[in-house]
């Protein structure tokens, strides 16, 4: 726990984890781009940009080079590899850095849009990041936050042990997004949910269960190692979650919290 508080990234950056992040992008990016409704020409900075699949989509839609701030050298290396493979290196202006510190002083107030997805749940004080996002945008510019609120996650019929597994970070930061925008001095303008579930019989169901199992498996060391759960309890819950994938009557009800605001 203490290591997480000091800023390590719970999910890690192994190739398996990077593959999970790529799949998640495949599933979510269309909905994200629809909601972003870029007009073209926007100057954009993506906080905690990870492997930059979404960063590149934003760049394609805006027809501009997009800045990405990412702390992990492993994520940056894989983001660069994927961009090169796609022939899209020119779309990215990638910087290794901390989202809590934001853009360099010379760029403050110059962006039309500051965006962060699945980042606020990984920092000890999300408001610090939202404030740096505010500093990055010009007056009238947009700040868009997307994050998890695990309280609205429903797996049904519920695999045994699920409730004890959701430990760590702030699993409910999604509900705080508008509050955070306001506290950082933005004028909140819109909130919504992006549906991110499926039922057995939809092709995305197995992918979503795998995504969830992979998140849980990746947190094993942090949870068991920190003594938050006995290994046997953790492993039994993870096994049940993996078996949930094969249920013909299974469904996942989930949504990503989305909030946006403008800088006065
Ligand atoms: C779940 S991933 C999401 C990546 C991307 N935003 C997306 O939606 O695909 C979270 C990313 O935030 C990065 N991250 C976590 N804390 C950070 C911080 N304080 N500064 C910069 N990046 C951070 C992690 O390394 C990871 O790549």
> What does the pLDDT look like over 214-252, one tens digit per residue?
888 888 887 888 888 899 999 999 999 999 999 999 999
Establish how many alpha carbons lie within 13 A of residue 129's alpha carbon, considering only the half-sphere containing its beta carbon.
29
Q: How many CB atoms lie within 10 A of CB 16?
A: 12
| Residue 65 near residue 88 (C-beta atoms within 8 A) | no
Measured over the CA atoms of residue 12, residue 217, residue 208 and residue 174, the dihedral's sign is negative
Q: How far is CA 147 from CA 126, 215, 257, in A?
A: 11, 15, 5
This prediction has a pTM of 0.88
Instruction: Give mean pLDDT, residues 183-196.
Output: 97
Report whether pLDDT(2) > 60.
no
Which of 14, 48, 51, 130 has most ligand 1 atoms within 8 Å of CB, for mutation? 48
The total domain count for the chain is 1
Q: 150, 193, 194, 153: which is closest to 171 by C-alpha?
A: 150
The pLDDT of residue 45: 98
Instruction: Please tell me the distance from the alpha carbon of residue 173 to that of residue 218, in angstroms, as a whole number.
Output: 20
Check pocket membership of 49 for ligand 1, CB cut-off 6 A: yes
Domain that holds residue 131: 4-262
> What does the pLDDT look like over 196-209, one tens digit per residue?
999 999 989 999 99
Check pocket membership of 213 for ligand 1, CB cut-off 6 A: no
The pLDDT of residue 3: 35
Tell me how far apart the terminal alpha carbons of the chain are, to the nearest angstrom.
37
Instruction: Give mean pLDDT, residues 161-181.
Output: 78
Comparing 25 with 259, which gets the higher pLDDT?
A: 259
Classify residue 27 as exposed, middle or buried by CB count within 10 Å of its CB (0-12, 13-18, 19+): middle
Instruction: Give mean pLDDT, residues 81-106.
Output: 97
Check pocket membership of 69 for ligand 1, CB cut-off 6 A: yes
Instruction: Please tell me the distance from the alpha carbon of residue 56 to that of residue 37, in angstroms, as a whole number.
Output: 15
Rounded-to-10 torsion of CA 198, 148, 235, 243: 0
> What does the pLDDT look like over 34-75, one tens digit per residue?
999 999 999 999 999 999 999 999 999 999 999 999 999 999
Residue nearest to atom 2 of ligand 1 (CA): 50
- For position 90, which CATH number holds? 3.40.50.150
> What does the pLDDT look like over 129-167, one tens digit per residue?
999 999 999 999 999 999 999 888 888 887 776 665 655
Per-residue pLDDT band at 8 (split at 50, 70, 90): low
Check pocket membership of 32 for ligand 1, CB cut-off 6 A: no
CA of 116 to the centre of ligand 1 (A): 8
Q: Are strands 111-117 and 187-195 parallel, antiparallel or unpaired?
A: unpaired
CA of 214 to the centre of ligand 1 (A): 17
The radius of gyration computed from the CA coordinates of the chain, to the nearest angstrom, equals 18
The pLDDT of residue 13: 74
């Amino acid at each position: 726990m203490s290591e997480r508080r000091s800023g390590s990234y719970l999910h890690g950056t192994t190739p398996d984890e990077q593959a999970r992040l790529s799949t998640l992008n495949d599933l979510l990016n269309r909905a994200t781009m629809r909601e972003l409704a870029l007009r073209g020409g926007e100057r954009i900075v993506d906080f905690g940009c990870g492997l930059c699949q979404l960063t590149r989509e934003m760049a394609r839609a805006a027809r501009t080079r997009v800045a990405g701030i990412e702390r992990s050298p492993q994520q940056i290396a894989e983001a660069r590899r994927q961009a090169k493979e796609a022939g899209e290196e020119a779309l990215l202006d990638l910087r290794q850095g901390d989202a809590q510190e934001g853009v360099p002083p010379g760029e403050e107030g110059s962006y039309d849009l500051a965006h962060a997805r699945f980042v606020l749940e990984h920092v000890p004080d999300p408001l610090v990041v939202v404030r740096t996002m505010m500093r990055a945008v010009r007056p009238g510019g947009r700040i868009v936050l997307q994050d998890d609120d695990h309280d609205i996650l429903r797996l049904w019929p519920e695999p045994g042990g699920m409730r004890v597994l959701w430990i760590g970070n702030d699993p409910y930061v999604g509900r705080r997004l508008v509050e955070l925008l306001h506290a950082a001095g933005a004028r909140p303008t819109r909130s919504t949910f992006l549906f991110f579930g499926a039922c057995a019989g939809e092709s995305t169901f197995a992918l979503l269960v795998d995504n969830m199992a992979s998140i849980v498996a990746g947190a094993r060391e942090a949870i068991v190692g920190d003594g938050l759960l006995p290994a046997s309890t953790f492993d039994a819950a993870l096994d049940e979650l993996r078996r949930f994938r094969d249920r013909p009557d299974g469904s996942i009800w989930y949504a990503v919290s989305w909030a946006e605001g403008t800088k006065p």
